[in-house]
């Protein structure tokens, strides 16, 4: 959806602010004295902070508890020091250590279990066999975490000042004094918490998003010419900025630590489960022999989880075991989705669906943006352009063709503007008391598309019933959705503070998009010279205006209003000013003193708003569409959001730069346990062009969530608009749908065990340092390598093939083995409409043999099996099969494919009946056999291709519910 920052020039002059100027913070019913916006009582420096002393130690079978007492006079750096703390250390499992430091009085905000359910205390003792060991010094208190299996290694996390660089350290950004490190004591104040850990010099850190990092997927830690990182966590509606805080907050990182002496690497992870606004610093001070991470938080407690891995995928899975594994996806969710802001009526939808089918481009799900609404009001349809009966007929026609429909739900709920205005969702919410309040108990009124709006209070005991009723009523007036798209849930407001309080409601009309003009194009398209078509060629002449097909792309100017580091910025809240890129924490969102049910203040719960909407909506859909898996895509996320939703990467740009940047976004969200993720294909903001859309449609076919979506008044970018894009789409979608059993199995493993479906190359090849910064390629599972074209005008692409020559990589389309450079780039042909995809050896992939127009038709067709042998003649693979829709998941069947010594064995277990037959088995890497047998009987219908060492056994109609053996010799 359109970002609010792109609208600031056309916003209305609003009524004077009533609430939001002064922070009035209540946590769990405990009112803390407001310091207003002044800072005179605080030292604003941690140099003299005394730290803590540990005492009253009690050890148990599962860990220890102790008391921490302030070790000297309070420093009151950015708040009031809390004198008495409790530390609880729990050996949660052999691979997970929980370290929780909180105020003994329990007055600081702690994330409720009702929001994120955490593991219960273990019933088995792991203190003697956990791979993680908790170590501490009592005075001054500090702790460090080591591996039992590698006791001589540098600790995974180490807060001792003796392990950290000497202080004071001057600002690493001379214009921003807050980037100094005055000292590294443990600081625990009501409005400021600080803790730092030493890290190995220049180690590899991934995560800590949501962010579009200029350094790439690997975070900048201040070595190798980098400047370090300040990762701010404060959810914010902004059009995909670079190196700024944005929609979601995920304070989890994976460290991939490489030992150059042994040539071996291991991974570990750290989660600080805290919802407060925060800055997280990654830095390596000048002349320091170590790097560091420092957390600066403006509230809450220190709730750490440490994960021992030792592989990257295991770290991610261990994180999932704490915050919850991802939701089960319906099979249809893996199809191609199509949307734009600017389908003006039902006829546009109908025409679009017809054009897609006429072009032979599979369309699984048609979406509608806010054009659907009447006066931009949630849970309505425009009575002229989207009358309920016509929309119902359209959606049922989709369903009859095994297609689906998804509408948008924005977070701001319109208020009624006068006594004759009837809008049931708002009225019911007032009756059931489910809207966020001002501190005086009046409704908090922000502004979004329909005008003045209220915001759901997800802590209200009645919100689930009101939300469910609104969704159910929507279906009854014609919007018979299959899933829901949640937007603007940072939450976004077009004004700051409760701007509607005391205002004339009728004076603020809904937003009017008439006359909107979109002028931007991709980097190498000159619209002044070539006009607005975006075509690759005009009258036989290339429209590529770049002189070469250089791999560098033009930087996109970062958009923003205000600056987090601007001098004298008044943040209206805690004395420590986190680096919120737009300035005040109240800017274009809810004021930090907005009040939630139970006494919670927005300051403490802001970053969880999207998560709580996702959970509520997921549960509501279970009620509205019983027995079927919900499908949700949402913008603002927080730890555990993947239990309830998928995610799209926000309001990106139709630029080649963003084609590349969406790869790191997909990789990030695998870490965050939100694997159903993808970008707005072809770009959202600005106009796309033919070549960019061609390449992007190919790339997105190999990420989990596949949706083309663009902004209001921009050049249409449906894939049928250009024949080359249509052709690229047909090829890529056919490959995607063939691979659906593989995708589905990867996501089943994610939902059951937390394993990431999409992987950075080094996850599978951890001891190859040349892979640690690779984010222009990725792996689907462990066996599919994707190497897209990311630059305009290119007909070749460079890619690295992991394994340093020990792995045979075969072309997806031709099955030919690649003659790859060991440990370096290989140049591959990449003509337009072609994306390089390669299959790893030692793999066995269950495929759909005949990709259909829809996922349903594809699943109804026969299977094939593609086996890629390694040099030793072995291969292994698995598949998970069920009905693809039932919730909770019903009977299933697990298949295992294992090849060795000229024999392929298929094992089948489970209660689900697979009606479709396995018709073809292809084995790559086989020396020409003289005979082939199936279940011990000779097979006549087999062929062999010498060039690709390819054995193909066809028309075999194997029942996958039983055991099968294929042999060749």
Residue by residue, DSSP assigns 106-131 as --S----TTTS--PPPPSS--TTT-S
DSSP code per residue over 416-453: P-STT---HHHHHHHHHT-B-B-TTSSBP-EEETTEEE
**From 103, 190, 469, 487, the catalytic residue:** 487
CB 779 within 8 A of CB 766: no
- Residue 707 corresponds to which tokens in the numbers above? 């949706």
**From 457, 613, 651, 718, the catalytic residue:** 651
- Residue 146 corresponds to which tokens in the numbers above? 């080591």
- Residue 181 corresponds to which tokens in the numbers above? 């490190």
- Write out pLDDT tens, residues 879-921: 999 999 999 999 999 999 999 999 999 999 999 999 999 999 9
pLDDT of residue 516: 86
User: Which residue, chain included where needed, has tokens 């207003």?
Assistant: 36
Banded pLDDT at 941 (limits 50, 70, 90): confident
User: How many other CB atoms are there within 10 angstroms of residue 225's CB atom?
Assistant: 6
Question: Known catalytic residue: 81?
Answer: no
Q: For 243-266, what is the mean pLDDT?
A: 98
- Write out pLDDT tens, residues 419-429: 999 999 999 99
- Write out pLDDT tens, residues 843-889: 999 999 999 999 999 999 999 999 999 999 999 999 999 999 999 99
Give the whole-angstrom CA distance, residue 769 versus residue 762: 8
- The residues near 256 (Cβ < 8 Å, ≥ 6 apart) are 203, 204, 206, 265, 267, 312, 762, 766, 772
What length is written for the chain? 969
Give the whole-angstrom CA distance, residue 816 versus residue 890: 40
User: How many other CB atoms are there within 10 angstroms of residue 813's CB atom?
Assistant: 13
Give the whole-angstrom CA distance, residue 713 versus residue 966: 57
pLDDT of residue 572: 61
The pLDDT of residue 29 is above 50: no
Helices (H), strands (E): how many in the chain?
14, 50
- CA distances to 50, 104, 799 from 73, rounded to whole Å, are 7, 18, 58
The pLDDT of residue 8 is above 80: no
pTM check: above 0.85: yes
Lowest-pLDDT range of 207-211, 404-408, 532-536, 957-961: 532-536
Nearest to 404 by CA among 366, 369, 360: 366
CB 163 within 8 A of CB 144: yes
The pLDDT of residue 25 is above 80: no
- CA distances to 182, 234, 778 from 702, rounded to whole Å, are 47, 31, 9
Give the whole-angstrom CA distance, residue 944 versus residue 953: 9
Question: Known catalytic residue: 389?
Answer: no
DSSP helix, strand, coil percent of the chain (3-state; round to 5) = 20, 25, 55
- Write out pLDDT tens, residues 454-502: 999 999 999 999 999 999 999 999 999 999 999 999 999 999 899 999 9
- Residue 289 corresponds to which tokens in the numbers above? 């022999």
Question: Known catalytic residue: 651?
Answer: yes
Which residues sit opposite 634 in a β-bridge? 486, 647
**From 490, 604, 841, 919, the catalytic residue:** 490
Give the whole-angstrom CA distance, residue 205 versus residue 75: 32
- Residue 370 corresponds to which tokens in the numbers above? 């806010």
- Write out pLDDT tens, residues 725-772: 999 999 999 999 999 999 999 999 999 999 999 999 999 999 999 999
CB 365 within 8 A of CB 405: yes
- Residue 781 corresponds to which tokens in the numbers above? 């599972």
Banded pLDDT at 35 (limits 50, 70, 90): very low
Pairing of strands 141-147, 132-138: antiparallel
CB 237 within 8 A of CB 220: no
- Residue 244 corresponds to which tokens in the numbers above? 């700024």
């Amino acid at each position: 959806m359109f970002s609010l920052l792109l609208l600031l020039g056309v916003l209305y002059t609003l009524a004077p602010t009533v609430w939001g100027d002064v922070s009035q913070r209540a946590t769990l019913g405990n009112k803390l004295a407001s310091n207003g916006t002044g800072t005179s009582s605080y030292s604003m420096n941690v140099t003299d902070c005394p730290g803590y002393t540990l005492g009253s130690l009690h050890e148990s079978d599962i860990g220890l508890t102790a008391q921490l007492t302030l070790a000297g006079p309070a420093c009151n750096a950015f708040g009031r020091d809390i004198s008495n703390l409790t530390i609880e250390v729990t050996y949660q499992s052999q691979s997970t250590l929980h370290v929780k430091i909180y105020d003994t009085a329990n007055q600081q905000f702690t994330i409720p279990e009702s929001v994120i359910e955490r593991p219960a205390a273990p019933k088995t003792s792991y203190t003697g066999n956990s791979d993680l060991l908790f170590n501490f010094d009592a005075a001054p208190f500090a702790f460090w975490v080591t591996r039992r299996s590698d006791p001589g290694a540098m600790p995974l996390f180490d807060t001792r000042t003796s392990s950290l660089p000497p202080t004071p350290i001057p600002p690493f950004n001379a214009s921003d004094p807050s980037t100094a490190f005055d000292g590294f004591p443990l600081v625990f104040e009501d409005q400021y918490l600080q803790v730092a850990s030493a890290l190995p010099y220049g180690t590899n850190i991934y995560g800590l998003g949501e962010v579009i990092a200029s350094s790439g997927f690997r975070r900048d830690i201040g070595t190798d010419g980098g400047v370090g990182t300040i990762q701010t966590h404060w959810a914010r509606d902004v059009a995909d900025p670079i190196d700024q805080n944005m929609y979601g907050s995920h304070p989890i990182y994976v460290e991939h630590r490489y030992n150059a002496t042994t040539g071996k690497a291991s991974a570990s992870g750290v989660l600080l489960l805290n919802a407060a606004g925060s800055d997280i610093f990654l830095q390596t001070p000048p002349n320091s022999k170590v790097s560091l991470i420092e957390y600066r938080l403006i509230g809450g407690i220190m709730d750490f989880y440490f994960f021992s891995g030792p592989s990257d995928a295991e770290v991610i899975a261990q994180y999932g075991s704490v915050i919850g594994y991802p939701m089960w996806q319906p099979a249809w969710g893996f199809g191609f989705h199509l949307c734009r802001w600017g389908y003006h009526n039902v006829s546009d939808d109908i025409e679009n669906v017809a054009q897609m089918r006429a072009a032979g481009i599979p369309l699984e799900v048609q979406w509608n943006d806010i054009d659907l609404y009447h006066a931009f009001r949630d849970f309505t349809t425009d009575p002229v352009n989207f009358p309920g009966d016509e929309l119902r007929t359209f959606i049922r026609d989709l369903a009859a063709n095994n297609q689906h429909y998804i509408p948008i739900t924005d977070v701001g709920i319109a208020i009624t503007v006068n006594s004759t205005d009837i809008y049931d969702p708002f009225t019911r919410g007032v009756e059931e008391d489910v809207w966020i309040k001002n501190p005086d108990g009046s409704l908090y009124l922000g502004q979004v598309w329909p005008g003045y709006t209220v915001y759901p209070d997800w802590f209200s005991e009645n919100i689930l019933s009101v939300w469910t009723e609104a969704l159910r009523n929507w279906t009854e007036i014609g919007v018979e959705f299959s899933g829901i798209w949640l937007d603007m849930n940072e939450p976004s407001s077009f004004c700051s503070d409760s701007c509607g309080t005391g205002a004339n409601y009728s004076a603020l009309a809904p937003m009017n998009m008439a006359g909107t003009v979109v002028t931007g194009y991709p980097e190498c398209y000159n619209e002044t010279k070539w006009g607005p078509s975006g075509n690759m060629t005009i009258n036989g002449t290339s429209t590529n205006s770049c002189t070469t097909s250089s791999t560098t792309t033009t930087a996109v100017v970062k958009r923003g209003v205000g600056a987090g580091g601007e001098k004298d910025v008044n943040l209206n809240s805690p004395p420590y000013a986190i680096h919120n890129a737009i300035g005040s924490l109240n800017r274009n969102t809810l004021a930090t003193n907005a009040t939630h049910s139970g006494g919670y203040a927005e300051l403490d719960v802001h970053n969880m708003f999207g998560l709580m909407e996702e959970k509520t909506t997921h549960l509501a859909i279970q009620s509205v569409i019983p027995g079927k898996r919900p499908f949700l895509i949402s913008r603002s996320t927080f730890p555990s959001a993947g239990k309830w939703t998928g995610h799209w990467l926000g309001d990106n740009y139709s630029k080649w730069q963003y084609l590349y940047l969406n790869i790191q976004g997909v990789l990030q969200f695998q870490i965050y346990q939100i694997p159903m993720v993808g970008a707005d294909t072809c770009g959202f903001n600005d106009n796309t062009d033919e070549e960019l859309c061609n390449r992007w449609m190919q790339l997105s076919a190999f990420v989990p969530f596949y949706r083309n979506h663009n902004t209001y008044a921009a050049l249409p970018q449906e894939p049928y608009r250009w024949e080359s894009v249509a052709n690229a789409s047909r090829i890529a979608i056919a490959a995607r749908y063939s691979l659906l059993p593989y995708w589905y199995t990867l996501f089943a493993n994610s939902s059951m065990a937390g394993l990431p479906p999409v992987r950075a190359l080094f996850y599978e090849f951890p001891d190859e340092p040349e892979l640690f910064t690779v984010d222009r390629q990725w792996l689907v599972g462990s066996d599919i390598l994707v190497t897209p074209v990311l630059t305009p005008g290119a007909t070749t692409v460079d890619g690295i093939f992991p394994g340093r020559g020990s792995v045979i990589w075969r072309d997806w389309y031709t099955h030919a083995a690649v003659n790859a450079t060991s440990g370096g780039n290989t140049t591959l042909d990449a003509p337009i409409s072609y994306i390089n995809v390669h299959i790893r050896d030692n793999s066995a992939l269950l495929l759909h043999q005949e990709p259909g127009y829809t996922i349903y038709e594809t699943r109804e067709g026969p299977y094939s099996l593609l086996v890629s042998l390694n040099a030793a003649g072995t291969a292994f693979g698995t598949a998970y099969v069920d009905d693809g829709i039932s919730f909770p998941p019903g009977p299933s069947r697990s298949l295992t494919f294992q090849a060795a010594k000229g024999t392929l064995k298929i094992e089948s277990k489970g209660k689900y009946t697979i009606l479709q037959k396995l018709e073809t088995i292809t084995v790559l890497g086989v020396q020409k056999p003289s005979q082939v047998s199936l279940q011990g009987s000779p097979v006549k219908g087999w062929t062999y291709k010498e060039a690709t060492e390819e054995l193909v056994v066809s028309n075999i109609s194997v029942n996958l519910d039983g055991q099968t053996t294929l042999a060749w010799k």
